[in-house]
Amino acid sequence: MSSARGIYQAGARHSGSSLSPRLPFDDLPLRPSLDFNPFTMCGIFAYCSYLQDKDRKTICDILCNGLARQEYRGYDSAGIGIDGDKPGEMMFFKEVGKVAGLRKKIAEASVDTSKTFLSQVSIAHTRWATHGPPSIANCHPLKSDPKAEFTVVHNGIVTNAAALRLLLQKRGFRFESETDTEAVAILTKYIYDSQPDKRISFPDLIKTVLKELEGSFAFVFKSCHYPNEVVTARRGSPLLIGVKTEKKLKVDFVDVEFAGPEGDAKSLDALAPTSPGGLLAPPSAGPNLLRTQSRAFMSEDGMPQPIEFFVASDASAIIEHTKRVLYLEDDDIAHIAEGELHIHRLRRNDGDGPQVATHRMIETLEIELAEIMKGKFDHFMQKEIYEQPESVVNTMRGRVNFDQNVITLGGLRAYLPIIRRGRRIVFCACGTSYHSAIATRAIFEELTEIPVSVELASDFLDRKTPIFRDDVCVFVSQSGETADTILALRYCLERGALCVGIVNTVGSTISRETHCGVHINAGPEIGVASTKAYTSQYIALLMVALQLSEDRLSLMNRRTQIIEGLHALPGQIRKVLDNDKSLQDLATGVLANQRSLLLMGRGYQYATCLEGALKIKEISYMHSEGILAGELKHGPLALIDENMPVIIIMTQDSLYPKVQSAFSQITARKAQPIVVCNENDDAIPKGVKTIRVPKTVDCLQGILNIIPLQLLSYHLAVRNGFDVDFPRNLAKSVTTE
């Protein structure tokens, strides 16, 4: 996001003085927020329009489209809540299954779709079951009572919901669902009813509710007591607001209202930069720019103008309407009413943590709607596999100077001396991100001569792994919202380690809370299988290793060799993709109807085996296992016979003779392996089935080798009739422990 500019002040431990220089994470804001608990990734969407005639059909279409854009996150039911025909009345449409079923239910309903609203607020949600099975009763939006005085949609888990439910039941409230969300809706009504003589504002009411909640969440509240108003809040779960006006916005920030004098909306103080060089300071607009003007979005003549707001969990739901978005931070409470957007805070700071920013920038999204659509491809996964020549270029763009063989990662530049002095580098990740760290561990050790360990985030936390102040901890996550990885990050921050983030999603929790890092710039990923993320993370990590070694003359030739390999990589990936038809034949022929598959390799290719096996498991539901070829005699060899399908990765590098030995061992036991090998390799016996790939530098070969396995998993799934983009039991962002 070109408009986002951020600063982060690291502690004295890393700077040698009271404050370190203000440093960018690829020029993005980093503000720690330590109030996190694991949450479930569902999909929130809300639509608010002011001074615009919108008929009910248009509103329903906007809501359903917003949900459909977030389908890739994983869900089992969907629902919307819209204004009814009478003042304060709500209409609900809910359906178990896909958004397409919800659209059909709305189309079949006997409601006046032509009814027009000058101003309105509507909410929608895709649910992934946690409390109670998928059902109409458990589907969001959830209401506080039969009259729906308060309506809520919710991502996350309220951990004290059972205690709240018991308390409210004792007060005479009846529950219709098994969800934790309904307890929040009823609690809101209970607090509102408990003070009938006091006209409490909607944001103040929600603040009171949130103080009673434990856990992690993103909420959108709507109420008949506050017509055409909506309140959203987040703690841990991502939430953003899109703003759409006919005329250009007068300001590109919204001032944050804190409790006390600083939050006085009538203050006449002009907004000033937080510091002379503060990169987050709003642009100077003269002394007459008042705090209230940052929230009202008035036109140039000072009159209210028609405006639309879109609240969502994901930018993909908003991009078709507007590119102007504002990311909420933990403990932000946003209030939309009368065409104005106010942002309140639960508290000024997080205990002993740093002060939070006094405004939220309205940023410009750079992704296009076409990027998140399937286009000419049958599935999102297929599209993402074929986009990898472009995505790896995007990861390197502006960072690799192929003329001078120089790597420049702006988000790391000022921290390089600290990383080089570290006593060890600890990678922490889950799933595909973990495999990308395994794939680059050897080159890190070779180029930096710093010991490297790679940890699964969940196991890292379970073991309470010792972390010290001179450790460098690298957190790899495609979404930047992976729960276990975030908890591991906070564990390391508490122990004084330097924390580095490698993420794809701009504005994500990991990108904000790490000291520095690199965005992989792979573009939006829609399918659950993170194909682009793996190759782009692989390259981003490799670039980090290259930049860390730039001060060592003895490694100049090795670095040059790798950078030249990076230059040739996009063309080589296209060459691999040209062999898609032969891989489809393998999937429908040799591997058809098989129940299990072994993949083996060693050295750099061990990670390729692990990632290939994972893709085959999660997309085609075939049991598959990645095996280190050096461990063959220590157990796995017992599985080998003529009935066990095996893929062995035998591309030419320093370990090629050892992999040939493993090949001899399995063929001696009647295995008929499929061999992934280089194009010019004449040592492969005749009659052996092969997958030929171009040859590149040893540490880059895994990128070319994984692509046939991605395609193989895709074709296996399609052949068996499985939903490639929505595999069972999985979601895009794994945000529960």
Q: Report pLDDT digits (tens) over 361-384.
A: 888 876 665 566 666 778 888 888
**Digit-coded pLDDT (tens) for 333-354:** 999 998 889 999 876 454 444 4
What pLDDT is attached to residue 367? 65
Residue 552 in tokens? 């060592």
C-alpha 522/C-alpha 210 separation (Å) is 36
Residues 6+ apart with CB under 8 A from 465: 426, 455
What pLDDT is attached to residue 435? 95
For residue 494, pLDDT beyond 50: yes
What pLDDT is attached to residue 260? 55
Q: Cis peptide leading into 304, omega within 30 of 0? A: no
CB contact at 8 A, 101 and 64 = no
CB contact at 8 A, 360 and 258 = no
64 backbone dihedrals φ, ψ, rounded to 5°:
-65, -40
For residue 678, pLDDT beyond 90: yes
CB contact at 8 A, 617 and 717 = no
What pLDDT is attached to residue 74? 65
What pLDDT is attached to residue 28? 36
What pLDDT is attached to residue 174? 93
Find the helix packing angle between 56-68 and 99-108, rounded to 10°.
170
For residue 267, pLDDT beyond 50: no
Mean pLDDT of 203-231: 92
474 backbone dihedrals φ, ψ, rounded to 5°:
-110, 125
| 3-state class (DSSP) for residue 243 | strand
CB contact at 8 A, 707 and 388 = yes
C-alpha 632/C-alpha 600 separation (Å) is 9
Residues annotated as part of the active site = 42
Mean pLDDT of 403-420: 91
Residues 6+ apart with CB under 8 A from 270: 286, 287, 288, 289, 290
Residue 229 in tokens? 């108003």
Task: Say how many C-beta atoms besides its own lie within 10 A of residue 149's C-beta.
Answer: 19
Percent of all residues in the chain with a pLDDT value above 90, rounded to a whole number:
52
For residue 322, pLDDT beyond 60: yes
| 3-state class (DSSP) for residue 371 | helix
C-alpha 308/C-alpha 112 separation (Å) is 23
CB contact at 8 A, 348 and 258 = yes
- pTM, rounded to two decimals: 0.65
Predicted confidence band of residue 11 (pLDDT cuts 50, 70, 90): very low
What pLDDT is attached to residue 271? 31
What pLDDT is attached to residue 10? 31
Q: Are strands 424-429 and 359-364 parallel, antiparallel or unpaired?
A: unpaired
215 backbone dihedrals φ, ψ, rounded to 5°:
120, -150
CB contact at 8 A, 254 and 293 = no
C-alpha 561/C-alpha 264 separation (Å) is 60
What pLDDT is attached to residue 376? 73
Mean pLDDT of 256-265: 57
Q: Are strands 498-503 and 516-519 parallel, antiparallel or unpaired?
A: parallel
3-state secondary structure 551-608: CCHHHHHHHHHHHHHHHHHHHHHHHHHCCHHHHHHHHHCCCCCCCEEEEEECCCHHHH
Residues 6+ apart with CB under 8 A from 641: 669, 670, 671
What pLDDT is attached to residue 705? 96
Residue 148: which region, alpha, beta or left (left: phi > 0; alpha: psi -120 to 50)?
Answer: left
C-alpha 196/C-alpha 186 separation (Å) is 16
DSSP 176-224: -SS-HHHHHHHHHHHHHHT-TTS---HHHHHHHHHTT--EEEEEEEEET
What pLDDT is attached to residue 298? 63
What pLDDT is attached to residue 7? 25
Number of H helices, E strands in the chain: 20, 29
Predicted confidence band of residue 527 (pLDDT cuts 50, 70, 90): low
| 3-state class (DSSP) for residue 118 | coil
Least confident of 49-63, 448-462, 675-689, 717-731: 717-731
192, 69, 177: which is closest to 130 by C-alpha?
177
For residue 514, pLDDT beyond 80: yes
